[in-house]
Amino acid sequence: MSSVATHPDHGAHAAAKPRGFLRRWVLTTSHKDIGTLYLLFSLAMFFIGGAMAMVIRAELFQPGMDFVDPYFFNQMTTVHGLVMVFGAVMPAFVGLANWMVPLQIGAPDMALPRMNNWSFWLLPAAFSMMLVTFFLPGGAPAAGWTMYPPLVLQTGMAFPFLIFAVHIAGISSIMGAINIIATILNLRAPGMGLLKMPLFVWTWLVTAFLLIAVIPVLAGAITMLLTDQYFGTSFFSAAGGGDPVLYQHIFWFFGHPEVYILILPAFGIVSTILPAFARKPLFGYTSMVYAVASIAFLSFIVWGHHMFTVGMPTAGTLFFMFATMLIAVPTGVKVFNWLATLWRGALTFETPMLFALAFVVLFTIGGLSGIMLAIAPVDFQYHDTYFVVAHFHYVLVSGSIFAIMAAVYFWLPKWTGVMYSERLGKLHFWTSVVAMNLVFFPQHFLGLAGMPRRIADYPVEFMEWNMVSSVGAFAYGAAQLIFVWTVIQCMRGRGKPAPAKPWEGAEGLEWTVPSPAPHHTFHEPPKVV
Partner 1 sequence: MSNETHTPYYVPEASYWPIVGSFGLLGLGLGAAGYLQGLAWGMPVLLLGAAVTVVMTVGWFADVIRERAAGLYSPQMARSFRWGMIWFIFSEVMFFAAFFGALFYVRVFAVPWLGGEDPATSRFLWDGVVLSWPTAGPGFLDLDFTPMAAWGLPAVNTLILLTSGVTLAVAHHAMRHGRQGRVLVFLAATIVLGALFLGIQIYEYGHAWRDLGLRPDTGIYGALFYMLTGFHGLHVWIGVIMLAVMLVRVWAGHFTAGRHFGFEAAAWYWHFVDVVWLGLFLFVYVL
Candidates 71, 35, 72, 29; CA nearest to 52 is 72
- Determine which residue in the list 48, 62, 196, 234 makes contact with partner 1, applying CB under 8 A: 234
Q: Which residue, 128 or 154, is less far from partner 1 as judged by CB?
A: 128
Collect all residues with Cβ–Cβ distance below 8 Å to 171 and sequence separation of at least 6: 122
Q: Which residue, 87 or 502, is less far from partner 1 as judged by CB?
A: 87
- 92, 38 Cβ separation under 8 angstroms: yes
Q: Which residue, 257 or 505, is less far from partner 1 as judged by CB?
A: 257
529 binding partner 1? (CB under 8 A): no
Cα–Cα distance measured from residue 460 to residue 70, given in angstroms and rounded to the nearest whole number = 17
Q: Which residue, 210 or 403, is less far from partner 1 as judged by CB?
A: 210
Which does residue 11 bind out of Cu ion, partner 1, none, counting CB within 5 to 8 angstroms by kind?
A: partner 1
Question: 3-class SS at 418?
Answer: strand
> Which residues of the chain form contacts with Cu ion (CB under 5 A)?
256
Q: Which residue is nearest to Cu ion (CB)?
A: 256
Cα–Cα distance measured from residue 45 to residue 477, given in angstroms and rounded to the nearest whole number = 13
Rounded least distance, CB 230 to partner 1, Å? 5
- Which residue blocks in 19-157 are alpha helix, DSSP H? 21, 31-59, 70-82, 90-105, 113-131
Rounded least distance, CB 46 to partner 1, Å? 22
Phi, psi of 197 (to 5 degrees): -70, 145
The rounded Cα 124 to chain-centroid distance in angstroms is: 17
Q: Which residue, 3 or 286, is less far from partner 1 as judged by CB?
A: 3
Q: Which residue, 123 or 456, is less far from partner 1 as judged by CB?
A: 123
Which does residue 256 bind out of Cu ion, partner 1, none, counting CB within 5 to 8 angstroms by kind?
A: Cu ion
Cα–Cα distance measured from residue 476 to residue 405, given in angstroms and rounded to the nearest whole number = 14
Question: 3-class SS at 349?
Answer: coil
Write out the binding residues for partner 1, residues 238-257 only, by CB under 8 A.
Answer: 238-243, 245-246, 249-250, 253
3 binding partner 1? (CB under 8 A): yes
Residues noted as catalytic: 80, 109, 145, 172-173, 256, 258, 260, 271, 305-306, 331, 334, 453
Q: Which residue, 32 or 256, is less far from Cu ion as judged by CB?
A: 256
Q: Which residue, 300 or 430, is less far from partner 1 as judged by CB?
A: 300
Rounded least distance, CB 18 to partner 1, Å? 6
Rounded least distance, CB 95 to partner 1, Å? 16
* Cβ-based neighbour number of residue 474 at 10 Å: 17
Q: By rule CB under 8 A, what string of x and - marks binding of each residue 161-190 to partner 1?
A: x-xxx-xx--x--x--xxx-xxx-xxxxxx
Rounded least distance, CB 459 to partner 1, Å? 31
Write out the binding residues for partner 1, residues 10-69 only, by CB under 8 A.
Answer: 10-11, 13, 18, 23, 26-30
Report how many helices (DSSP H) and strands (DSSP E) the chain contains, helices first.
18, 0
**Sequence-ordered strand ranges (E) for 258-406:** none
- 131, 79 Cβ separation under 8 angstroms: yes
Q: By rule CB under 8 A, what string of x and - marks binding of each residue 87-126 to partner 1?
A: --------------------xxx-xxxxx-xx--xx-xxx
153 binding partner 1? (CB under 8 A): no
Which does residue 358 bind out of partner 1, Cu ion, none, counting CB within 5 to 8 angstroms by kind?
A: none
- 425, 407 Cβ separation under 8 angstroms: no
Q: Which residue, 222 or 289, is less far from partner 1 as judged by CB?
A: 222
- Determine which residue in the list 65, 157, 478, 488 makes contact with partner 1, applying CB under 8 A: 157
Which does residue 227 bind out of Cu ion, partner 1, none, counting CB within 5 to 8 angstroms by kind?
A: partner 1
432-469 in b/e form (b: 16+ CB < 10 A) is: bbebbbbbbbbbbbbbeeebebbebebeeebeebbebb
Write out the binding residues for partner 1, residues 188-207 only, by CB under 8 A.
Answer: 188-190, 192
264 binding partner 1? (CB under 8 A): no
Rounded least distance, CB 72 to partner 1, Å? 21
315 binding partner 1? (CB under 8 A): no
Rounded least distance, CB 330 to partner 1, Å? 23
- 375, 423 Cβ separation under 8 angstroms: no
Q: Which residues pair with 339 in a beta bridge?
A: none
- 44, 71 Cβ separation under 8 angstroms: no
The rounded Cα 218 to chain-centroid distance in angstroms is: 17
* Cβ-based neighbour number of residue 90 at 10 Å: 27
Which does residue 238 bind out of Cu ion, partner 1, none, counting CB within 5 to 8 angstroms by kind?
A: partner 1
End-to-end CA distance of the chain: 43
State the number of binding residues for partner 1 (CB under 8 A).
94
Residue 113, CA distances (Å) to 16, 19, 101, 262, 525 in order: 17, 18, 13, 24, 17
Which does residue 26 bind out of Cu ion, partner 1, none, counting CB within 5 to 8 angstroms by kind?
A: partner 1
Task: Please confirm whether the linkage preceding 313 is cis (ω < 30° from 0).
Answer: no
407 binding partner 1? (CB under 8 A): no
494 binding partner 1? (CB under 8 A): no
Rounded least distance, CB 110 to partner 1, Å? 9
